[in-house]
Structures are given as C-alpha cells and as structure tokens.
Structure 1
Amino acid sequence: MSADPDPTVYPLDHLAMRGQGDAPALVLKDRTHSYNSLNARVGVLAGWLKSRAAEPGARIATWLPKTELACLMPLAAVRAGLVHVPINPLLKRAQVVHILADSGTALLISNKGRLDTLESGDAICPVLDEATAWAEADALACELQPSNAASDSLAAILYTSGSTGRPKGVILSQTNLWLGAVSVAHYLKITPDDRVLAVLPLAFDYGQNQLLSTWYAGGSVVPLDYLTARDVVKAVARHGVTTIAAVPPLWLQLAELDWPAETAVSLKRLTNSGGALTPSLVRALRTKFAQAELYPMYGLTEAFRSTYLDPSLVDAHPTSIGKAIPFAEILVVKDDGHAAVQDEEGELVHTGPLVAQGYWQDADRTAERFRPAPSFSKLGGMAVWSGDRVRRDGEGLLHFVGRRDAMIKTSGNRVSPQEVEEAAVATGFVAEAVALGLPDPQLGQAIHLVARAAGDADAAREGLIPALTRVLPNFMLPRHVHWRGEMPVSPNGKLDRVALAAELAKDMSR
C-alpha cells in the first residue's frame, strides 16, 4: 500500500468505469454486471431520471432493498445532475413521510409492497414502483455519458437520527463521497480480485461505501438482503466472498455459527463499525477467521468515517478505535478548547475533506455540530464536533470513553429516544414516556421504555407494543417496557432521565 492515496476528485459516477471493462462489478440475483454494462446501465437510468426531473439538483428518493436500481442510483443521480436520498428499507410510513417532506423529494421510487403502506396525501411527490421505472427507462433508451459534476456539488442526502427529534439530512458532496471511497479502498487494501458482500443497508454511509469503495478499487460487489446469519454464510460460499462489513450484533451471530472450513478461509478481511467490538467477540472472530484481517472502525455520518485500527494491533489493543483514516485529521479537544495530552479525555473532533456540508435546511443544528476547527488543527476549516468522549494513549491510539448525547445505538442503528417516546404517546396508550438505551450483550444497547399509562392500565400493557409495531421499524421497538404510576421529575420540571437510567441499571445488576 502506498504511503498516501490519490487525493484527486472526480464526479462520483466515474466509479462505474474504474474496473476492467469485462470484469464483474455488481453481482445481482439474476445477472452480473461487468464494468462496461454497469456504466451503460447507469447511463440509461441517468437519462431517464433527467427526463423526469423538474430541475437540476432535484432530490430523488429510493425506498428499496438492495435491488439493481438501489445499487445504481448513487451514480445515476449524479450523472443526471440530481441528488439521491436513499431511505432505509426498514423504515415505515411515518419516518418515510417525514424524509420526503423534509428533503422536498421530487420523485420516490420504491416497490409495490412499500408504496401500498402510504396513505392518501402522504406522498408530496410522484411515486413509482421500480419495475415501472425500469420499463420507462428502457423504453426511452437515452444513455447519458459520464458527467463533469463539480467536486463541491451536492451528491446525496443521508438521513440519520439525532439525539433528539426526527431524522436529519446530512448533506454530502462529490468530494465527500469520492474521497471516502478512496480512503477506505486504500486502507482496506481492496483489489480487483476482491468480492465484497454488501449486507448493510445502502441508506447508511457505511452501507453505501461498500459499493463505492469496491468500485473505486475495481472489485466486485455482491448485495445481500439476508433473513438469518446463515444466509450470509451461504452467500460467502456461493460467491467466493473475500470481504464482509458488518455491525457487532451480526458479527456475534456469525461467530456463533459453524462455518465450513473451506468457506471461512475465503474471507480476507472483516470490518466493523456502528458500535464497539468487545474483547470476547474480537477473540471469537480471530479464532474462527484466523487468516482474515480484522478492521475495527469508528465513524459518524457527519464525517463518514474517522478512524480505523490496523489489524496488526487488534490482538494487543482490542478495544481501541485506532487512528485517523486517510484524508481525516482527528483531534481530542478538552472542554476548555485546548488539545488533550496523552491519556487525557476530550471530545473527538474531525476535520478535513470528509466533513459533510451540514444538515439539510437546518441552520440551527448545523451550527451546533459543524464549527470551525480548533486553532491547533493542521488542516483547519470546518470540523465536526462529535460529542463523543475519547482519549489518546502513548502509542497514539484512540479509545472511546462515552457519548455526550442520549443517542441509543442498537443493532448498529442510531435511534433517537425522542422519536420512540413520541411514537409511544401517539398510540394513545401512554401519557408520558422516557426511552433509554441500556447495555445488552447481543444488541449493544437495548431500548427500555419507561411509561405512565393513559387511561386503562391493563389495556395499555396489552396494546402498546402491537401499536408501536405498526408505526416503528423493528430496530426501534422497545425490548422492555417498565410501567410507572408516576414519573420522576428533575428540579427543572422535566422528566428525570438520569434517575430512571440509574434505577433501571440498578435493577439489572441484581
């Protein structure tokens, strides 16, 4: 691996031409696209999108599993001069309606099953099922050639939950996504011979980068919507997969399975983000996949990825999040604004060209998180102030200490407590609610909901979870509901989250 990756930025749709023309680029259920056919297919989709778009820069949303259109849209939207808004296929009606309205989406492409869940008046834009979209695109047969999009132009809006409120859109430029792909392909040492199994949702920055970094390196992507962990094992065997990116809950399931020796040995690299690996899970993965390099990583959507731990250091430092990835400068800043010294705790601050452009049409929250880099920064410019507390040891390795906000991280997903609480109250069964994330060996954190019933308590106990199941994705559902006749209040008159968290943690320790 060379000392420094190439910092030259090209339009994102040029990734469709990075590999050898006849080499496999995208392995779908019913066909495999070479780089030549990938580029042509992106061009056809882009030509149709441009014919449907009201104006340059219009937002095009996809609410799909890992279909052909979902995989090609990050490149096709850019080639058409549009902005892609990928929506997590696990989200349900309420979250989707919010994202469509907030982003000002001009067109939503989904499938019939999902579109049928929308109600009259939900969609503020035209909606199409994927089959119709492809039929129109193929009939039009207008293949756009590679674009010359400016490096600072908007490419995508990725929606992520904040510590309070509904999902907010992170604005990503051509530079953000291109250099993110370059950085990851470089430090993971992906080659044209690699096959990457894309198991993570493409609406996540980490999930989307599975496509982009692999195509930058000229490798092949195998998208997989899996039902069980055993489906992953089967896909590795079927396609000769060399690389898997996953989150801790899935790694735990994969480590517990019996893998055929000839299948396990095909894996060259395992990458993790979306939560910390425990020392016991590190040992399990290193034992089961002894030949594979393990890459623990830390990231946040506002800057894509911040750090990775070199595989050679994993056994000795299993809990470290490593050092800055290429193109990132990672600072540890004390509360007084000065640089933290060795083993001193401070806030992780990320600066450099991977820093996003802010939040979509949300100047207040942008100003809270995106602020000028500290004076001692080498790169300077705008920085993301993560809110996460870290320390740097004597070897320069970073260690995660804790989170400043109340965000719940469960099964690799970021969940806003307020969104869960609002959904609970909206059912009519709950008068007051507090959602908390407490440690869980499988999920990382499990969602606990403390609630006071509205009206009949027995009816509330029986009806709450079924009602929430209809409006929330599974990963946002409370695993435990604790009913209270009265909720504790802090001196400022707000529900006392700290007291409730302490009470539940004490109960769990008994």
Structure 2
Amino acid sequence: MTDDLTKRSQPLDHLALRGDRDAPALLFKAMTITHGEMDRRVGRLAAILVGMGMQPGDRVATWLGKSWLACMMPLAAVRAGLVHVPVNPVLKRAQLAHILSDSGSRILITNAARGASLVEGDIPDGCAIADDTQLAAQAEADGQELSPSSRDPEELAAILYTSGSTGRPKGVMLSSRNMWLGAESVAAYLGLTTDDRVLGVLPLSFDYGQNQLLSSWYAGASVAPLDYLMPGEVVRAADRFAITTLAGVPPLWVQLIEIDWPLEVTQRMRRLTNSGGALTRHLVQRLGAIFPTTRIFAMYGLTEAFRSTYLDPALINERPDSVGKAIPHAEILIVRADGSPTDPDEPGELVHCGPLVAQGYWQDAERTALRFKPAPPHSHFGGIAVWSGDKARVDADGFITFVGRDDEMIKSSGNRISPTELEEAVQSTGLAAEAVALGIPDPALGHAIAIVVRPSASGGPDPETFEAALRARLRADLPNFMQPRHIIVRTDMPRNPNGKLDRVAIAAEANSALEAAA
C-alpha cells in the first residue's frame, strides 16, 4: 500500500502545474495570480536562489507575512533543490535566532523592517539576509526560470518548527511525499474543486496553514491569504473574495460567532474546518446556526504526521466530542503500553502510521527515537509510526475521542507552547530564581498561561513591582501568544523527595488560588 502511494507522489513544486493555467491560484487585495503565472514565478524564484550560490540541501528561511512570495516558497525551494524553513512572523528575535542556528539556514528572506530589528548575534555566521521586496521584483520580471524538478519525493523539502513539552522548538522534517500526499488527502475528504476559494488566515509556518495552500493547489482551487488584526476583517475578506472555505482554530471561532455575517457570505460558504483544539458543543451549535448549509469538519492532527483524523460533517451534531476516523493515507491505532490494541472505549495512546509520518526531528536523534518508533505489530502499513503521547479511545463503531495529553504541553489559541521554553524565558530575565509554566483550562483559548514564580534577589520585595517588571521583560522577549495571563508570586516552591520542583503540587495550588480569586 505504501509503495503504491509513493509512486503517486511527485516533487512538491509540481503542485504549480495542476491547476488551469488561466485560473486564479492566489487572490490578493488588488492582484490575482493565475496557476500559470504561479508556475513561472516559482521557476524564477528557484533560479534566483540557485544564482545566490545555494547548493542542493541548503536551508532557506522565510520570516514574512502572507506575501505571494511567502506563499510560493514551499514550491520554489523544492524546485531549487533546497529545504524551506518557514518562521512564524509573530516570533521575536530570540526564537528566530534559535531556528536559524538550529536549522543551519544559509539565507533568511524577510522584509526591511524586520531585518532592521535584528542585532548582532541574531543571525548566525554563514547566514545572509535577503530583502523580500527585491526578490519579488526580480521574480516578477522576465528572467531565467527553472523547469519543474525531477527530484525524489523522498528528499527533505521543509523543516517546520514546533514546540515540544521540554526544551526549545524542534524542527519536524517533511519530504515532498509527506506534503504531497497530505495535500491529496485533504483535498479528497474536503471535496475541494477548481471553483473553490479558500481564505488563508492561519500562519504559513503552521502545518495546518501551509496545507491550505497545498491542498487548494492540488485541487486546482485558489487561496486568498489574509493577515488580519480584527476578526471583522475575516468577514469582510470572505465577502470580497467570495470565499467557499474557511479554516480556523477554536479561539478564532469564538470571535467569529460574535460577529454579524452577511447572509450572502454564509450561503456561499461550503465548508468550515477546525483543528488545533476541540470544538465545544456551544461552538458547534453557534456555527451551525450562522452557517446552516455549511459542512463543519472537526479534525485532529500533530505536526509530526500532519493530520490524523476528521469527523464526517453529517455527524457533527450526533458526535460533537469525537475527532472521527483516519483521513485518507493514514492509519490510526489506539494501543496499550505494550503496543496491543485497546478494547472499545478503553483509553490508550494514539499512534499514527503510514506515509504522512514525518522523517523525524532535525539533528535530534534522541527526541526522534522517543516519538518515531516502529509501528505496532498489527499495523497494516508497518514501518515507522508516530507515537503521539496523546490519550484517546475508539468505540465499537471506530470513532475516536481525544482524552488528553501525557505531556505538559500548553495549547493556547491553536499554538503548542513548551513550558520549558517559557520557564527559560522567565529565568533569563534575572528577576526570577525559579519558575513553573502551567496551562489553565480556558473556554476561549484552550489554555491560558500561568507562571508560578519565586523572585530572585534582584526581583525586589514588592510583588506588584516585580510582576510589572517581569511582564515588561516578557512582552519584549516573547510573542503575544506566549504571554502569561496569570503571574503567581511565591516565596517558596513545593518540592518532591528528590529535591525537584513538585509540578503536580504547584499546579494544584495555582488552580485553587485562581479559582478562589475568580
């Protein structure tokens, strides 16, 4: 089965060839780029990158908003034989510096304002900065174009950085095959067609956001990329571009259900898709009331295997707590600790098998070995599988329900946030001697971030002054989605018999304190 899918895979840049060359591929405020023009620009961008001295396998990073160049880089990098490293534009200098250094990127493509914000030490030796406006102007002009590549779909095509439960963000390695089959799978089960128009509101560094581009182009459809500040902009863009498909995460839906949607916009909407957190029953009901003729897809995924399950929209009201069944090209097993299959409704670990499984973590054999392990013996695909660490159960009809996470990952506004990275940031200020980061259940965000902290000697004796100073430093050092809602100041921290911080006790005390203060 895997061999047949491998033969179907193509180099990722061939997605630029699938649509009608005169049909729209990208829709911007005052610009429409056809599939044919996209192919030409991908070819020119690839030629420019090769002309800059890039060698096969080199990494090229982008730190950009949703420009046409940012949208096409996943294809242009493959055509040039390079590996694309997209960096979320909301990340700050410290996170960017880590990703550039860890990936060994040779070029960072960004805009002038972002480039000017960088200081010595942010850009590692051997990495040059390229201005996106200049590159875009070159690619828009007539010039050399690289032809569609004949590269092995198994070659590394992208590294997507995602936070782990411990340590700094780690790079998930994706091949053309991973992304091609992911695009094919999603286009199939969503039923995307050439006349669909997809509104791209999710970050392109997010596998969910990137796949909106790739699955749409696989189907020959078009995408309207949108960077927005206020949720009302999403509604206006959906109207302006006659959008038929909208993807989001739960915090966005919480905002969008509070807005008045024009009837002609909701009637045009064919599908809504959700991942990055579960849809609540309230959200399902409100979305159904606003979009009565729209299909709502509840989905579950993880960057290491892209997407795992989806729920048939016809069952969204009957089974609102389920994440459904495996998507095409995926095999999802729920197993006990010994790898044997669980009984119906028995919780176990969710294991993802098949060709969507990534190639591991970039230059991190230790963490790769912990997550990427041989598939359970009863797997049809076999090979290496992703052992998610997530608890789930499957019922007698094969429907999967997510139970919880084994790790301490904080998921807020659709972002997976490492507690260790937060704690390191707090302690690096010099104001805190010890810190523990927690995810507090929140109906809008999924988790609100709480920091339990013991001030250092330099933190000062006044808790209010300390909190204000710490928040000011964190605002400068961390992106908005990593900012804590709660800071709980303690003069001592509970410890276990081994002398380590007792995270269970700290979390219990923090929850009690916040409930009492509410």
Normalising by the residue count of structure 1, what TM-score does the alignment of the two structures yield? 0.97
- The answer for the alignment partner of 2:79 in structure 1 is 79
Instruction: Quote the Cα distance in structure 2 between the aligned partners of 1:398 and 1:301.
Output: 19
In terms of mean alpha carbon deviation, does 140-149 or 237-246 score higher? Answer: 140-149
Task: Give the secondary structure class of the aligned counterpart of 1:495.
Answer: coil
Quick check: 2:488–2:510 contact (8 Å CA) kept in 1?
no
Instruction: Quote the Cα distance in structure 1 between the aligned partners of 2:142 and 2:161.
Output: 31
Task: Give the secondary structure class of the aligned counterpart of 2:40.
Answer: helix
Q: Residue by residue, what CA displacement relative to the aligned partner does 1:303-337 show, whole Å, maximum 9, x if unpaired?
A: 00000000011110001010000000000011232
Instruction: Quote the Cα distance in structure 2 between the aligned partners of 1:117 and 1:418.
Output: 26
User: For residues 486 and 337 of structure 1, do their structure 2 counterparts lie closer, same or farther at Cα, with a shift above 3 Å needed?
Assistant: same
Instruction: Quote the Cα distance in structure 1 between the aligned partners of 2:156 and 2:272.
Output: 31
Residue 490 of structure 1 and its aligned partner are, at CA, apart by 1.4
- The answer for the alignment partner of 1:506 in structure 2 is 512
Instruction: Quote the Cα distance in structure 2 between the aligned partners of 1:445 and 1:158.
Output: 23
User: For residues 35 and 6 of structure 1, do their structure 2 counterparts lie closer, same or farther at Cα, with a shift above 3 Å needed?
Assistant: farther
Residue in structure 2 matching 1:470, options 467, 473, 476: 476
- The answer for the alignment partner of 1:493 in structure 2 is 499
Residue in structure 1 matching 2:340, options 313, 338, 341: 338
- Whether 2:270 is the aligned partner of 1:261: answer no
Quick check: 1:60–1:107 contact (8 Å CA) kept in 2?
yes
Residue 508 of structure 1 and its aligned partner are, at CA, apart by 3.9
Instruction: Quote the Cα distance in structure 1 between the aligned partners of 2:247 and 2:171.
Output: 23
User: For residues 347 and 71 of structure 1, do their structure 2 counterparts lie closer, same or farther at Cα, with a shift above 3 Å needed?
Assistant: same
Once the two structures are superposed, the pairs formed by residues 101-250 of structure 1 within 5 Å of their partners are: 101-124=101-124, 125-137=127-139, 141-250=143-252
Quick check: 1:12–1:75 contact (8 Å CA) kept in 2?
yes
Residue 379 of structure 1 and its aligned partner are, at CA, apart by 0.8
User: For residues 288 and 138 of structure 1, do their structure 2 counterparts lie closer, same or farther at Cα, with a shift above 3 Å needed?
Assistant: closer
Q: Residue by residue, what CA displacement relative to the aligned partner does 1:175-206 show, whole Å, maximum 9, x if unpaired?
A: 00000000000000000010000000000110
- Which 5+ residue runs of structure 1 have no aligned equivalent? none
Q: Residue by residue, what CA displacement relative to the aligned partner does 1:237-294 show, whole Å, maximum 9, x if unpaired?
A: 0010000110000011111111111122111100000001111111111111111000
Number of aligned positions between the proteins: 507
Instruction: Quote the Cα distance in structure 1 between the aligned partners of 2:454 and 2:122.
Output: 31
- Whether 2:485 is the aligned partner of 1:479: answer yes
Once the two structures are superposed, the pairs formed by residues 365-380 of structure 1 within 5 Å of their partners are: 365-380=367-382
CA RMSD of aligned residues (A): 1.4
Instruction: Quote the Cα distance in structure 2 between the aligned partners of 1:232 and 1:7.
Output: 39
Instruction: Quote the Cα distance in structure 1 between the aligned partners of 2:171 and 2:363.
Output: 8
Task: Give the secondary structure class of the aligned counterpart of 1:487.
Answer: coil
Normalising by the residue count of structure 2, what TM-score does the alignment of the two structures yield? 0.96
Quick check: 2:339–2:377 contact (8 Å CA) kept in 1?
no
Which amino acid counterpart does residue 457 of structure 1 have in structure 2?
A: P
Task: Give the secondary structure class of the aligned counterpart of 1:380.
Answer: coil
Instruction: Quote the Cα distance in structure 1 between the aligned partners of 2:48 and 2:121.
Output: 26
Instruction: Quote the Cα distance in structure 1 between the aligned partners of 2:18 and 2:474.
Output: 45
Q: Residue by residue, what CA displacement relative to the aligned partner does 1:317-365 show, whole Å, maximum 9, x if unpaired?
A: 0010100000000000112321101001100000100000000000000
- Which 5+ residue runs of structure 2 have no aligned equivalent? none
- Whether 2:486 is the aligned partner of 1:457: answer no
User: For residues 229 and 159 of structure 1, do their structure 2 counterparts lie closer, same or farther at Cα, with a shift above 3 Å needed?
Assistant: same
- The answer for the alignment partner of 1:359 in structure 2 is 361
Quick check: 1:162–1:168 contact (8 Å CA) kept in 2?
yes
Q: Report sequence identity in percent.
A: 59
- The answer for the alignment partner of 2:406 in structure 1 is 404
Quick check: 1:47–1:137 contact (8 Å CA) kept in 2?
no
Once the two structures are superposed, the pairs formed by residues 283-294 of structure 1 within 5 Å of their partners are: 283-294=285-296
Quick check: 1:355–1:384 contact (8 Å CA) kept in 2?
yes
Instruction: Quote the Cα distance in structure 2 between the aligned partners of 1:91 and 1:53.
Output: 28
Instruction: Quote the Cα distance in structure 2 between the aligned partners of 1:9 and 1:22.
Output: 25
Task: Give the secondary structure class of the aligned counterpart of 1:467.
Answer: helix
- The answer for the alignment partner of 2:97 in structure 1 is 97
- The answer for the alignment partner of 2:423 in structure 1 is 421
